[in-house]
Chains A and B, each alone.
Chain A
Amino acid sequence: MSVLVYTESENGKFKKNAHEVASYAYEVAKQMGTTATAISINATESESLGDYGVAKVLNVSNDRLKTFNAKAFAKVVGQAAQKENAKVIILSSSADTKFLAPILTAQLEAGYVPNVVSAPESTSPFKVKRTVFSNKGFAFTEISSEIKIIGVSNNAFGSSENKTTATVENFDPSLGEDVFTTKSIEIDKVVGKATIADADIVVSGGRGLKGPENWGMIEELAEVLGAATACSKPVSDLGWRPHGEHVGQTGKPVASNLYIAIGISGAIQHLAGVSSSKVKVVINTDPEAPFFKAADYGIVGDAFEVVPKLIEKLKEFKAQNA
């Protein structure tokens, strides 16, 4: 009756969110008086999950699962849950996991609650706090089904070390041809750069930057900070930046430690989408811009003057603190 957690990996290495969901599973298991078991697919160093409180790892090595396939991966997690007789399953909020979660939910006839921001309020009844209305509110949600699936919001619970020794067991799921009915043809992914989903810092530009030709300084600032780049909705609608960079209510949510908004006035939809970021900085010429009401720190000034200075000063700071 352990708590099962799906710990995602990429090219054999655990993703950052794997440690966060493992920490979360440890906390839930503790509340329920049981232990946490992880299911990992083609990950090396599975025993390292013990650092985050995982007592047991079911380790799958399977060449057909080298590339993510939602149906197949959902099957694996579902079979692991049955083997462990797990009634609570913990998932992350990555694009891949949000793809497999509903398939798993149907497979186990479970109750699924995504976007959960903290440890359960109680485990009997099972009650969690989640964001609703695209971060404009929270709901306390009770799950009444026998099997419960929790999707933990990115960077909301955080990772915490709870050193234990994890036993690693090989797990061989049974997968028929019927789970491979969608095929990955091509993956086009930025490598070696932070993504909006897992970056600690996100640097975002708005219409105040006047045109796509002015994004050089945004990219340079992001590079100095090791940050991901993002943009407001109008900027993506105008085609200045790719859709994948659009953050806000109808774009991607941002839950970074630091969000820097440059030339973004702060429409209610944008503010909702970035509200889970812990610290927000705004740089805007207009002191009346709504973003100043939602930010922690602000500079009223022209981005074309402020940003180059900021880049220069940050380089000095980085050199001193290297």
Chain B
Amino acid sequence: MKILVCLSNVPDTTSKINFTDGDTKFDTNGVQFVINPNDEFGLTRAMWFKEKQGATVHVATVGEASTEPTIRKALAIGADEAIRVNAVPTDGYFVAEQLAEIVKNGEYDLVIAGRESIDYNGGMVPGILASLSGMNFVNTCISLEIEGNNATAVREIDGGKEKISTTLPLVIGGQKGLVAESDLRIPNMRGIMMARQKKLNVVEPISASKATDDVKFEKPASKGQVKLVDADNIDELINLLHNEAKVI
């Protein structure tokens, strides 16, 4: 089985978000970039398929050279080979078209991408990629088993979960649950050394369309002062929620 894991390079979850250039750009100053958490759960599941079922795992990202530390980390965790499409990921459709080109050339059986990136939260790359590549698709996937050509996936739905059966080739939009948080791996020294020898292919983007453009950004309005209620005066809290906030 040949697996492609799609990675997005995103600000660490603890990052404070600021904008620059008259609020038209994300301010990367002082921001630590990491593998998108939803992708990392997928990468870890791919490692399981590699170790237990002998799968080959490639990783791909669409990004400039500055994203290479993130890709190297994936290689250090155990991916066999990496591909970087040398382009700024302008919108989800553009990224999906670039990845579809890699899928077409690489004959992958399974593509794992995060259900969304935690920066622009588009949540569209895996689904568009599946459609462009003519592959089956399961989103918000929290469990995945493969046997031969058959896949059994569990996806999260509002208020529960759904078990789905389908076949390869398959794209999944992954998230936490594919593996547990405690299963995520920190690269060890041997992995980091080996990653240096592994192939990181840089390819130029194909011409693709861009449908959306973020023209301006804004930070949420700052919150007013919290109203503290004494722990012995629960009636007051209920009164505030009923008469002032009108939520109960």
Contacts and interface: CB of A to CB of B under 8 A. Distances in A.
Contact of A244 (B156, B215, B218, B226): B156
Interface string B57-68: 000000000000
B223 A133 contact: no
A135 B136 CA distance: 30
A258 B123 contact: no
A112 B218 CA distance: 20
Interface string B138-175: 11101000000000100111111111111100000001
Interface string A288-302: 000011111111111
A310 interface: yes
Given A182-B165, A297-B226, A133 B220 contact: no
Given A99-B139, A139-B217, A244 B248 contact: no
Interface residues of B, number: 83
Given A182-B137, A243-B176, A300-B228, A131 B121 contact: yes
Contact of B241 (A198, A249, A269, A279): A279
A293 B234 contact: no
Contacts of A36: none
Given A102-B131, A107-B131, A299-B229, A309 B234 contact: yes
Secondary structure of the B contact surface, majority rule:
mixed
Interface stretch (B10-18, B44-52, B73-81, B103-111): B10-18
Contact of A243 (B142, B182, B218, B238): B142
A89 to B, nearest CB: 13
B130 interface: yes
A195 B131 contact: no
Contact of B227 (A249, A293, A296): A296
B214 A132 contact: yes
A299 B124 contact: no
A98 interface: yes
Contact of B162 (A102, A186, A282): A186
Nearest to A224: B248
Nearest to A291: B226
Given A102-B131, A310-B237, A201 B248 contact: yes
A183 B161 CA distance: 14
A285 to B, nearest CB: 10
Secondary structure of the A contact surface, majority rule:
mixed
Nearest to B182: A237
Given A99-B139, A197-B159, A250-B176, A140 B216 contact: yes
B118 to A, nearest CB: 5
Interface string A92-122: 0011101101110111011111110000000
B112 to A, nearest CB: 15
Nearest to A181: B136
B235 interface: yes
B242 interface: yes
A185 B121 CA distance: 29
B212 interface: yes
Given A107-B131, A145-B211, A182 B166 contact: yes
Contacts of B227: 296-298
Interface string A241-276: 001101001110000011000000001110000010
Nearest to A134: B118
B30 to A, nearest CB: 15
Contact of A144 (B180, B211, B229): B211
A106 B137 CA distance: 13
A198 B158 contact: yes
A299 B237 contact: yes
A106 B128 contact: yes
A107 to B, nearest CB: 7
Contacts of A314: 238, 248
Given A99-B127, A188-B160, A281-B241, A142 B215 contact: yes
Given A193-B159, A195-B158, 5 more contacts: A102-B126, A106-B131, A112-B212, A141-B214, A142-B213
Interface of A: 70-71, 94-96, 98-99, 101-103, 105-107, 109-115, 127, 129, 131-145, 181-190, 193, 195-198, 200-201, 225, 233, 237, 243-244, 246, 249-251, 257-258, 267-269, 275, 278-279, 281-282, 292-302, 305-306, 309-310, 313-314, 317, 321
Across the A-B interface, the 9 shortest Cβ-Cβ residue pairs? A102-B127, A111-B211, A301-B231, A189-B160, A195-B159, A106-B131, A197-B158, A145-B211, A102-B124
